[in-house]
Amino acid sequence: MPGTTSLGLRYPLMGETVDATSWQNLANDIDALMTSIKTIRDKAFRTPTASIGVLGSAVNSASTVLVDQQFTIVHWDTNSMVNLGVNNDRITVPAGVWYVRFTCNSYTGTTTSTYSRVMVRDTLGNQWGSQSTGSGITGGQGFGPFSVSTVILANQTVGIKGSMQWTGTGGPAVWGGGCELQVYRLREAADV
């Protein structure tokens, strides 16, 4: 029994008896083909995405130390990538190339602030993008909001984190609500 030119869908040779098996073979091949098309279609049109945020404020007491934001709310999660009860500082993504954005609201509570920074990094220790601002501010005025967006290559399942840092005196720095970490997948790590 030969198959079609490109995909090998089976059909009977001319002269062969066309019986139930002939139909079953072709139907099974079409069935498998439809399943593979659905898999690729889902990758094209159902991109995994998640967004987590903070209700209330976040405190970073130590000047110059880069700390991971602790999140309290899931805005959306289409691929079961968030479990704040276990790890409240990350979105755990499967392999792929991901667009990531981390935004932090302004902070107050410091005596002086000379520098502030937000960063996207992963649980493997890779740093994927950061944005900073600096100015001599006194009297506890706030910095921000801040935002950084970047592209991440994940060759394996990895946690994506949003981190923040301030430099100055006084404190602790109290970051207002509205901090958010968002991801969506741009493509697979390898061609499909």
Partner 1 sequence: MDLTPHERFPFPEANDPGNGALDLQILAEAIDAKCVTMLADLRRMVNRPMRLVTLNGNGPNTIIANAFFDMFTAGAGQWVSQIDTTGVLSFDVTQMSGMGTTPGVYRLGVIALTNPAVVVTANSIRTIRLTATIPVSDPSVFPAPSTTAIKRSQTNVYECGVGVTDMQCELEFATAFPQTTVLDAEITHANVGSNLVLLTGSVMYLYRVGDVDI
Residue numbers at the binding site for partner 1 (CB under 8 A): 4-7, 9-16, 18, 22-23, 26, 30, 33, 36-37, 40-41, 43-44, 97, 114-115, 117, 119, 127-136, 148-151, 153, 167, 186-189, 191-192
Tokens standing for residue 22: 């002939």
Task: State how far the Cα of 112 lies from the Cα of 181, in Å rounded to an integer.
Answer: 27
A 10 A CB-CB count for 86 gives: 8
CB of 171 to partner 1, least distance (A): 16
CB of 47 to partner 1, least distance (A): 10
CB of 46 to partner 1, least distance (A): 11
Measured from the CB atom, the residue of 80 and 126 that comes closer to partner 1 is 126
Measured from the CB atom, the residue of 111 and 132 that comes closer to partner 1 is 132
